[in-house]
Structure 1
């Protein structure tokens, strides 16, 4: 599990509850089944309208992506690319065919196969770029889904509060329960705002972060494959690929001694 996501959500919920207890409230005062049904059901219902059913079915997978710890080892990718470049420089491009099956990264494997097959440089670049753009589009759909939910949730909360206040105004004669009824009416707004800012919007941001990491990894792989195809020096390739990384990351060893 991704500790940052789990701890972050846990800390937000804990802080929220602690602040309520400090103000003299109780957990029981926050429980309102009808408000919960309206906010959660209304939020997901409205969100579903905005997306095809095929996208809605992917929501559990998107949640898993946000919650699981999925690290992309860019340094390892660079090391593998440099190794491929050295092999191609010493023994020729066709020698890479013997190394393709050992590659675990599907995107890198696809690129090396294109090079081994003698695909034109511009065609290889276009195919790999298209794959990258399609991946980014798929990933952005998940982030947009939760962003949309985060936009609808507060509105659904306000709708619930308005409904509650309408009910309160209809029973003004019962002045003894007026304060409690008004407080209950605002629970829906609380649900809407809290779920949007503690769950839906942070999950959307996490999915964007995951997508950015994978996009960077694929950009490095694409640049590496094209550099191999162009016959560039392994040392130059390694330095160029590390230039994609932040300055404090470039000094890390890629686990491979590059020979020019």
Structure 2
């Protein structure tokens, strides 16, 4: 579990709520059902209209990465590649068939299969780089869904504010309804800006950071498998791939 994400979320919320309390406000002032419905419902509706169904579903599925990031260990992948290289030098490329059967990662499995089949290095690189790029773009589209939410939310907050002011103008002679309309107007703006900057845009940034890590892992895999295909020394492969480590 990514505790930093949870801590950041609660810290951001508490900063807003705490600042409101320090200014003499009340927690109840920030709770407004109509404003919440306008901003969140309108944002989701706009994004659903903009986004193809499969990309929207992928975005919701990838949301779990924000609090539960899959473990990505570059050094472990490098060590496995070095082991594959040593095995290939000892038993030939066909000796990697046993590793192919045990490999859970589909991308790595495809690379090993290309290697075992004796393909040229250019073919191995082209096939894997094409798949890496396609998977990266697909994942980035999911992240862009939350970026779009971050763009729509403040605008829907302004829309909520305008609707609240319309209610105010229609009830200038009724003090009770006047106060409710003003509250909806200002709280809708807070919700729009708050959701965008405390939820949607940070989620998009977190997903993009994770996508970059996955892409880097695949780049390491490609370089390692190509080096094995070229018959490089395992020690040289390790030295080369260690350049990817931070």
Alignment TM class, shorter chain as reference = over 0.9
Name the residue aligned to 1:87.
87
Deviations 1:24-75 (Å, cap 9, x if unpaired)?
1111111111111111110011111211112222333121122213220111
Name the residue aligned to 1:221.
221
Q: Secondary structure at the match of 1:86?
A: helix
Number of aligned pairs?
246
The CA distance in 1 between the partners of 2:148 and 2:120, in whole Å, is: 42
Q: Tell me which moved more, 115-124 or 35-44.
A: 115-124
The CA distance in 2 between the partners of 1:48 and 1:181, in whole Å, is: 28
User: Once superposed, which parts of structure 1, at least 4 consecutive aligned residues long, lie more than 4 Å away?
Assistant: 175-180
1:185 is displaced (CA, Å) by: 1.5
Name the residue aligned to 2:69.
69
Name the residue aligned to 2:20.
20
The CA distance in 2 between the partners of 1:161 and 1:227, in whole Å, is: 60
Gaps of 5+ in 2: none
1:189 is displaced (CA, Å) by: 0.5
Deviations 1:211-259 (Å, cap 9, x if unpaired)?
000000000000000000010111111011110122xxxxxxxxxxxxx
The CA distance in 2 between the partners of 1:231 and 1:4, in whole Å, is: 43
How do 1:47-196 and structure 2 match up within 5 A? 47-174=47-174, 178=178, 181-196=181-196
Q: Secondary structure at the match of 1:135?
A: helix
1:204 is displaced (CA, Å) by: 0.3
The CA distance in 2 between the partners of 1:99 and 1:81, in whole Å, is: 11
Q: TM-score, normalised by structure 1?
A: 0.90
The CA distance in 1 between the partners of 2:170 and 2:26, in whole Å, is: 27
The CA distance in 2 between the partners of 1:50 and 1:195, in whole Å, is: 19
2:150–2:195 Cα contact (<8 Å) kept: yes
Name the residue aligned to 2:239.
239
The CA distance in 1 between the partners of 2:179 and 2:44, in whole Å, is: 31
Name the residue aligned to 1:208.
208
Q: TM-score, normalised by structure 2?
A: 0.95
Gaps of 5+ in 1: 247-260
1:178 is displaced (CA, Å) by: 4.5
Name the residue aligned to 1:11.
11
1:108–1:225 Cα contact (<8 Å) kept: no
1:108–1:221 Cα contact (<8 Å) kept: yes
1:148 is displaced (CA, Å) by: 0.1
The CA distance in 2 between the partners of 1:180 and 1:39, in whole Å, is: 17
2:56–2:142 Cα contact (<8 Å) kept: no
